C-alpha cells in the first residue's frame, strides 16, 4: 500500500527565528493523522513542508521511502486542501474538479468520468455546471475536496478545512470526511487547533507545542495519559484541572488537605496534580470549596468552584447540581489523578 510519509529531524528557520526544532514523524499508509496544537505551534509549516510548498532548513522528507526533500510539489503526488478553498471563480465546478487531471493531459472521457466519481463521493454531482460564486461555503469546500481526491494522490493534506463552516455543518462534514477517507483509504494528514476535531477524526494525533512534537498517540491515549502538563491543559472540554500540590508517599497535599493517590512518590516532590472535571466529586469529605458559578449545559452542568486560592471545575449531572454560593468538599478517586513534575511538566505516573 502506498502513502507512507516520514519526516526526519526537520528544522525550519525564518531568519533568526526557529519555528520547527527537529520534528520526527512516521505516518503509516492509509492512516488518518492529525497535527494538533495551539496557534503558531508549527502545524501548518509541517504540512507545507510535506507538500513541498516550504523548503526545510535541515532534515529529510520521505514518501514511500523515496527522498523528496528537494522535490517540487507537483512531483510528490500529494494533494492539499486549504482553509480558503482556493477555487478558480471563472471555472465551473466540473472544470475546477478536473483541473489537476487537465494539467497532466488526461484524455477527455477519463477526465469526465473521474470528475463525476469525485463529485458523487462528496455529494455535489448536481452542481457541476455552477460556478463557485453560486455555491454555499459548505458546497465550495466539497468542490475543494473533490478536486483533491480526483487524481487519487498518495497523500491527502488538509489545513483546517472545516474552519470556515458554521458549527452544525462542521459536525456533519467532519463525519463525511472520515467516511470519505475510510472509503478511499488514502493517507491523510490533517491540521487543526480544535481538539474535538482531532479526537473524532484521527487514528493518531501529534500534539505540537512551540515548534516541537510533545506527544504522538491515539486520541484515547492522549486523553487518558497526556505526556505533559501542556497537553493535559489542551485536551478535554473543559480541560483538566491542573493544581500545584506536594506528592508525598501515596498522598498529595492540596491546599492543606491530604488526598490519597494510587501511586507512591519515590521521594517528596512538588507536582502539578491533574484531575479531569468529570472525575472531581462534591460531597462531605475532602478539600473545602465554594461554588462560584454554575454553567448549565442541558444534560450536564459545569461547576466553577474556589478551593482556597485554586479555581476548580467539576462536571456534574444537572440533578445533582449545587447552587451558586453553596459550600461543599471536593475529592477524587485515587486512580483518576495525573501527576506532572512541577518544573519540567513531564508526566510522572
Ligand atoms: N515567513 C515567516 N517568517 C517568520 N515567521 C514565520 C513565517 N511563517 C510562519 N512563521 C512563524 O512560524 C510559527 C509557526 O507557524 P505555523 O503557521 O506553522 O503555526 P500553526 O501551528 O499552523 O498556527 P495556526 O494554527 O495559527 O496556523 C509561527 O510563530 C509563525 O509566526
Q: What is the predicted pLDDT for the residue at 119?
A: 93
* Nearest atom (ligand 1) to Cα of 47: 18
Count CA within 13 A, CB hemisphere, residue 224. Answer: 6
- Three cell numbers written together for 43: 502545524
* ipTM of the complex as predicted: 0.94
H or E stretch at 253: strand 251-254
106 alpha carbon – ligand 1 mean position (Å): 36
Atom from ligand 1 closest to the CA of residue 37:
21
- For the cut 80, the answer to whether the pLDDT of residue 136 exceeds it is yes
Nearest to 161 by CA among 190, 139, 203, 134: 190
Question: Which residue has the CA at smallest separation from atom 30 of ligand 1?
Answer: 40
What 280-284 contacts at long range (C-beta under 8 Å, 24+ apart), as own/partner pairs, is: 280/241, 280/312, 280/313, 280/314, 280/315, 280/330, 280/331, 280/332, 281/314, 281/330, 281/331, 281/332, 281/333, 282/314, 282/316, 282/320, 282/322, 282/328, 282/329, 282/330, 283/328, 283/329, 283/331, 284/329
The CATH 3.40.50.300 domain(s) of the chain lie at 5-232
Task: For residue 251, list its beta bridge partners.
Answer: 248, 260
Element (H, E) at 246: strand 241-248
What is the structure's pLDDT at 6? 98
DSSP 271: E
The whole model's pTM is what? Answer: 0.90
Residue 169: what pLDDT?
Answer: 83
Site to substitute for ligand 1 among 35, 41, 160, 209, most atoms within 8 A of C-beta: 41
Q: For residue 104, give the C-alpha cell.
A: 497532466
Tell me the pLDDT band of 168, cut-offs 50, 70 and 90: confident
Per-residue model confidence as pLDDT tens digits over 44-74: 999 999 999 999 999 999 999 999 999 998 8
Q: Which residue's alpha carbon is at the smallest distance from atom 26 of ligand 1? A: 39
Query: Rounded distance, CA 245 to CA 5, Å?
Result: 42
Helices 137-149 and 108-121, interaxial angle, to 10°?
130
pLDDT at 162 over 90: no
Nearest to 219 by CA among 234, 240, 236, 198: 198
88 alpha carbon – ligand 1 mean position (Å): 26
Which numeric CATH code is attached to 241-341?
Answer: 2.40.50.140
Residue of 11, 45, 189, 192 best suited for mutating to test ligand 1, as the one with most atoms within 8 Å of CB:
45
- Distance (Å, whole) CA 187 – CA 1: 10
**Ligand 1: residues within 6 Å at CB?**
14, 17, 19, 37, 39-45, 193
3-class DSSP assignment, residue 50 = helix
CA–centroid distance, 65 to ligand 1, in Å, is: 28
DSSP label at residue 126: G
**76-90: pLDDT as tens digits:** 999 988 877 789 999
Fold for the domain defined by 5-232: Rossmann fold (3.40.50)
Q: At what angle do helices 108-121 and 167-184 cross, to 10 degrees?
A: 130
Task: Count other Cβ atoms within 10 Å, centred on residue 77.
Answer: 17
Helices first, then strands: H and E counts in the chain: 8, 20
Q: Could you tell which of 13, 20, 42, 213 is best to mutate to test the pocket of ligand 1, judged by most ligand atoms within 8 Å of the CB?
A: 42
pLDDT digits (tens, 9 = 90+) for 284-336: 999 999 999 999 988 899 999 999 889 999 999 876 678 899 999 999 999 99
- Cα of first residue to Cα of last residue in the chain, in angstroms, is 38
pLDDT band with cut points at 50, 70 and 90 for residue 137 = confident
Which H/E stretch holds residue 195?
Answer: helix 195-201
Looking at the chain, the domain(s) classified CATH 2.40.50.140 span: 241-341
The C-alpha atoms of residue 149 and residue 270 are separated, in whole angstroms, by 51
Mean pLDDT value across residues 211-225: 96
What is the b/e burial string over 125-136, where b = at least 16 CB atoms within 10 angstroms of the residue's CB? eebbeebbeebe
Distance 189 CA to ligand 1 centre (A): 18
**Atom number in ligand 1 closest to CA 46:** 18
Ligand 1 nearest-atom number relative to CA 44: 22
- What contacts 236, CB < 8 A, 6 or more positions away? 195, 223, 276, 277
Best residue for ligand 1 mutational test, from 19, 53, 190 (most atoms within 8 Å of Cβ):
19
Amino acid at each position: 500500500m502506498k502513502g507512507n510519509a516520514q519526516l526526519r529531524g526537520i528544522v525550519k528557520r525564518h531568519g533568526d527565528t526557529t519555528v520547527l526544532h527537529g520534528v520526527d514523524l512516521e505516518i503509516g499508509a492509509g492512516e488518518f493523522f492529525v497535527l494538533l496544537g495551539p496557534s503558531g505551534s508549527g502545524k501548518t509549516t509541517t504540512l507545507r513542508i510535506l507538500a513541498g510548498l516550504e523548503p526545510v532548513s535541515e532534515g529529510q522528507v520521505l514518501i514511500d521511502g523515496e527522498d523528496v526533500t528537494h522535490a517540487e510539489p507537483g512531483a510528490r503526488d500529494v494533494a492539499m486542501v486549504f482553509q480558503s478553498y482556493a477555487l478558480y471563480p471563472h471555472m465551473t465546478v466540473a472544470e475546477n474538479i478536473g483541473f489537476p487531471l487537465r494539467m497532466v493531459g488526461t484524455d477527455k472521457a477519463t477526465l469526465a468520468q473521474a470528475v463525476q466519481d469525485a463529485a458523487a463521493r462528496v455529494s455535489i454531482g448536481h452542481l457541476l455546471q455552477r460556478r463557485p460564486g453560486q455555491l454555499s461555503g459548505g458546497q465550495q469546500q466539497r468542490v475543494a475536496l473533490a478536486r483533491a481526491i480526483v487524481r487519487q494522490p498518495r497523500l491527502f493534506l488538509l489545513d483546517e478545512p472545516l474552519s470556515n463552516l458554521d458549527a452544525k455543518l462542521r459536525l456533519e462534514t467532519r463525519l463525511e470526511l472520515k467516511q470519505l477517507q475510510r472509503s478511499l483509504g488514502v493517507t491523510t494528514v490533517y491540521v487543526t487547533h480544535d481538539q474535538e476535531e482531532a479526537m473524532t477524526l484521527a487514528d493518531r494525533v501529534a500534539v505540537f507545542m512551540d515548534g516541537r512534537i510533545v506527544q504522538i498517540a491515539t486520541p484515547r491515549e492522549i486523553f487518558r495519559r497526556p505526556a505533559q502538563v501542556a497537553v493535559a491543559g489542551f485536551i478535554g472540554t473543559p480541560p483538566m484541572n491542573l493544581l500545584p500540590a506536594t506528592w508525598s508517599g501515596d498522598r498529595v497535599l492540596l491546599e492543606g488537605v491530604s488526598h490519597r493517590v494510587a501511586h507512591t512518590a519515590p521521594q517528596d516532590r512538588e507536582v502539578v496534580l491533574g484531575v479531569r472535571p468529570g472525575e472531581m466529586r462534591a460531597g462531605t469529605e475532602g478539600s473545602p470549596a465554594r461554588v462560584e458559578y454554575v454553567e448549565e449545559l442541558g444534560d450536564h452542568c459545569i461547576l466553577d468552584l474556589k478551593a482556597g486560592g485554586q479555581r476548580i471545575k467539576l462536571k456534574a449531572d444537572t440533578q445533582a447540581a449545587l447552587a451558586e454560593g453553596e459550600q461543599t468538599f471536593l475529592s477524587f478517586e485515587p486512580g483518576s489523578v495525573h501527576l506532572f513534575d512541577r518544573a519540567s511538566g513531564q508526566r510522572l505516573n
